[in-house]
Amino acid sequence: MPETMRGALHDGGDKVNFRDDLAMPKSFVGSALVRVRQTGICGSDLHMNNERTEEQVMPSGHEVAGEIVELPEGESRLQVGDRVAIETIGAGQACLDCWYCRSGQYRHCRDKVGDTGGGFAEYMTRKPAGLFKLTDDMDWTDGALVEPLAVSVHAVRWGGIAPGDTVAVVGSATIGLTAIAAARHLGAGKIIASAKYDQQKMAAAAMGADIVVGSEPGELEDTARAETDGRGADVVLESIGGTTPDTLVQSLEACRPQGKAIIIGGFRNPFEFDFLRPMLEEKSILLSSCYGVVDGHHDYEVSIDILASGRAPLREMVTHRVPLEGIQEGFDLAYDKASGSLKVHVEV
């Protein structure tokens, strides 16, 4: 193995700098080594870079597909050379023995291995439990889409969308689009989505939304009520988050009495919120984070099945690809929706 690798680090200001001299990721007891092939730029990567004030010491990037280079002794489920999607945040770091791990909720493990770096680099180390084999007809682009799809698959499965439910999706960036695909695949009835940009509107329709509206206040809410004899959607999937309660309020306004709003987007600042009306209407607010095991199957496994089926044009979300050496261009494209970007992938 080489002593150094190519990778990228945020400088604590406004740049993500390519480096060809990063230290290889640390190995640990039971770790596998993976050669990264493709990594998606997530909205959370953009937010975290905006918040950083000091240079990164190891690469980030969690929407990762790669090839297994080394496996720990005794591993029999996987082989060197297998192409995998990497579950970097939960099972790939989890102890696999605590109450949460035994329940399949690796995201909440209380004794995780420390972070050893992410997918904006040539190599990663994670436990084999976090490596999920791709099917033969999936390429690296499909593999790097498993993670964002799994986020939405988890929200739909854990949140409990029933077959035939009318579902509203707030926002049609990556997670909104994967939420549409997951809801459609897992039995939703009518799907209504909001979208801000033209490319998002087209993608939402392609992903399976029956009705796509704009992002102005009231559009989604009014349409949800109009399509349900005035009730509102059975389930609303909020995919935006942010620093104000606007989309949380919108989600609850679009939701029927005794319906539910499943919050996938990250709300990053404290804010005031009036619970009285949702309480009087018995609306549920469910918070969904990442992925785990639901009904005996990991959300990554379900996501791989969806991608392999070809029933949702998820790979068409990837509008731009850049080499690792051009990662700053990739971040610029991801920030600038006027560029027509939906999803940007870094080829490593």
User: Which residues, listed in sequence order, are joined to residue 121 by a DSSP beta bridge?
Assistant: 7
The single residue listed with the structure tokens 């790939």 is 92
Q: What is the mean pLDDT of residues 168-191?
A: 97
Residues 33-71 have pLDDT tens digits of 999 999 999 999 998 998 899 999 999 999 999 999 999
Q: Is-contact 110 94, C-beta < 8 A?
A: no
pTM for the whole thing? 0.97
Q: Is the pLDDT of residue 96 over 90?
A: yes
Amino acid residing at 65: A
Residues 206-233 have pLDDT tens digits of 999 999 999 999 999 999 999 999 999 9
Q: What is the mean pLDDT of residues 146-165?
A: 96
pLDDT the model gives residue 231? 98
Instruction: Choose among 38, 48, 42, 43: nearest CA to 124.
Output: 38
From CA 71, how far away is CA 309, in angstroms rounded? 29
pLDDT band per the 50, 70, 90 thresholds, residue 1: confident
Work out the mean pLDDT of the chain and round it to a whole number: 97
pLDDT the model gives residue 269? 86
pLDDT the model gives residue 308? 96
pLDDT the model gives residue 268? 85
- Token code pair at residue 180: 């549409």
Domains of the chain: residue spans and CATH: 4-133+313-347 (3.90.180.10), 149-287 (3.40.50.720)
From CA 156, how far away is CA 160, in angstroms rounded? 6
- Token code pair at residue 261: 């709003």
